[in-house]
Amino acid sequence: MADLRELYQDTILDHSKKPRNFREIPGATAKAVGHNPLCGDRVTVYLRLDAGNIADIAFIGQGCAISKASASLMTDAVKGKSKSEATRLFERFRKMVTGRPGDPIDASLGKLAVLSGVCEFPVRVKCASLPWHTLEAALEAKQETVSLE
């Protein structure tokens, strides 16, 4: 059962059942919709940007435990950060979930490290990445729906 627990750690289950920042932001300065047609996951990320900083971030949507927990952890992780800090964090996050089991985990990922088990389940990488791709689209103020296929 070792690998199952790696994927579904308590923190992940907690964030999927009680997602943080799970709301809309009225008058958001940016928002984007992400969609994974394979599993029907759909996430909307809202941003309130203030002088290039993420003053507030929230999300709504439906999806699997991994995508929901990832979205929840992401909102906690990037709140208060600058746009470029958020983008760099996504880069490190992507490296972790697409890496090899046992690879050293970048300490700056903090709580996001609980999603490192995803790398053992390549089909779930899209679930974990969807919120981040959606955040990226919102930061770039792309209007169209992000679709991961």
Partner 1 sequence: MARKDRMAKPAKMLLNVPAIQADFPILKRTVRDKRLVYLDSAATSQKPKQVIEATSDYYSRYNANVHRAIYELGEESTREYEGAREKVADFIHAKAASEIAFTKSTTESINVIAYGYGLKGKIQKGDEILGTVMEHHSNHVPWHFVKDHKGAVLKYVDVADDGTLKMEQYDDLLTRHTKIVTVTLCSNVLGTINPVKEIAKRAHEVGALCVVDAAQAAPHMPVDVQSLDADFLAFSGHKMLGPTGIGVLYGKAELLEETEPLLGGGEMIREVHLGWAKWNDVPYKFEGGTPNIAGAIGLGVAVDYLTKLGMDAVRAHEMEVTQYALEKFDRLKGVTTYGPKDVKRRAGVVSFTIEGAHPHDIASILDVEGICIRSGHHCAQPLMERFDLPATARASFYIYNDLDDVDALIAGIKRVQEVFA
Residues that bind partner 1 (CB under 8 A): 1, 3-4, 7-8, 13, 17, 37-42, 62-66, 121, 123-124, 127
Q: Which residue number, 31 or 124, has a Cβ lying nearer to partner 1?
A: 124
- Min CB(36)–partner 1 separation in Å: 9
Q: Which residue number, 29 or 98, has a Cβ lying nearer to partner 1?
A: 98
- Min CB(121)–partner 1 separation in Å: 6
- Min CB(74)–partner 1 separation in Å: 18
Q: Which residue number, 89 or 119, has a Cβ lying nearer to partner 1?
A: 119
Q: Is 122 exposed, middle or buried (0-12, 13-18, 19+ CB in 10 A)?
A: exposed
- Min CB(107)–partner 1 separation in Å: 27
Q: Which residue number, 22 or 121, has a Cβ lying nearer to partner 1?
A: 121
